[in-house]
Amino acid sequence: MLAGYAVHVENSRGRRFPEPPHPYRNDFQRDRDRVIHARAFRRLEAKTQVFTRRNSDHFRNRLTHTLEVSQVSRTIAGALHLNVDLVEALALVHDIGHPPFGHAGEKALDAAMREQGLYFDHNLHALRIVEDFEQRYAAYRGLNLTFEMREGIIKHSRDYSPAEHPELTEYLLDQRPPLEAQLIDLTDEIAYSTADLDDGYESRLLSLEDIRAGVPVFDRFYRDVQEIYPEAPEKLKFNEALKRILNRFVDGLITNTKRRIGQAGILTLDHVRSHPQRLAGFSPEVEAERKQAKSFLYENLYFSKALAGEKDDAERIVTDLFAFWMQDPTALPQNYQEKAEEDSLPRVICDYIAGMTDNFIFEQYERYCGRV
């Protein structure tokens, strides 16, 4: 049973273009399925999570990361009696607006846009994808997702100012998003914090000794595992410790969010929306542990010397291609040239690059700018 403060599908604000109900799927289930069948969702399989050019089938990409976020999100939503269908759909769509090459690609694309007096925001780009770029239906452009999905896409990880973004007024910017949307940024943190420790260890960029020294919560669980499984291989001990971190973060998010809901007297969705702060969150102790793990990853993996060359290549490729098409827009595909007649050229180039996979942008770079 759903809690009173959950989003009830029968109370949805509906779709931009009304549609008759489906005989055996509710609206949020249909949203989920539309995301899964979208071209932009399929492209996540060939977009970087952390590693850009390391040849291993075992490291996460944007798609496998998204699936892990979905699993964690569904578990937590069920424990909190939230709408699991909506949470699952939001988890699946949460990274659909990311460009190739992970955060390095996003940094370079935003920098290129800012030179043109504009900017790149992957949440707002995701909204453009589901509202306009995906073309699967004869009756309308986009995926025609429910209001709650579109609201969650832009508000799951940050609050936008009504004064700075008047174009988003319909999304209740003066109110908090539902708990279903509030969860997604936190489950994203849980998923990548644990997964990136795993991939960093598998890649041998992070040693067991370094992780134990830099991530105290891991060391605590690893010592427990050693006592229980003294003869187990090192990798399996690592897996057991990492599993315990994942469970601790998940349990911490569930327990503390329940506590905040109770303390605030939250009974309805309107209470959630009108609350001064977001209600979903970790306890101070678990939040400190999560931040320690994140800081360790930034210092020892994301900004490591071993990955510096990949990041430099990624930023150069995005920057050079953007500049090339600004100078010669006739080299763009015909449909993007046509779009540039209605929208600004920088925005059209940004849209084109943001939709690319890692493999395709390498091909474009070799075609127009030479070898990497």
Summarised one tens digit per residue, pLDDT across range 169-228 is 999 999 999 999 999 999 999 999 999 999 999 999 999 999 999 999 999 999 999 999
| β-bridge mates for residue 48, sequence order | 61
Cβ distance 143 to 34 under 8 Å?
yes
Residue 54's pLDDT band, with cuts at 50, 70 and 90, is low
Name the average pLDDT for the chain. 95
CATH of domain 9-308: 1.10.3210.10
This prediction has a pTM of 0.95
CA 106 to chain centre: 13
Instruction: Return the number of other C-beta atoms located less than 10 Å from residue 210's C-beta.
Output: 15
Indicate the domain borders of the chain.
9-308
Rounded mean pLDDT, 223-236: 97
The tally of CA atoms less than 13 A away on the side-chain side of residue 360 is 13
Q: Which pair of structure tokens corresponds to residue 177?
A: 């998003």
Exposure pattern of 114-151 as b/e (b: 16+ CB <10 Å)?
A: eeeeeebbbbbbbbebbbebbeeeeeeebbbbbbbbbb
Q: How far is CA 70 from CA 44, 250, 284, in A?
A: 14, 13, 25
> How far from each other are the two terminal CA atoms of the chain, in whole angstroms?
55
Nearest to residue 160, comparing CAs of 128, 124, 188? Answer: 124
Rounded mean pLDDT, 275-302: 96
Q: Which pair of structure tokens corresponds to residue 146?
A: 């429910």
Cβ distance 200 to 206 under 8 Å?
yes
Rounded mean pLDDT, 289-318: 93
| β-bridge mates for residue 146, sequence order | 15
DSSP secondary structure letter of residue 2: -
Please report the pLDDT score of residue 50 as a whole number: 87
Q: Is 37 in a helix, a strand, or coil?
A: coil
Please report the pLDDT score of residue 58 as a whole number: 77
Report whether pLDDT(55) > 70.
no
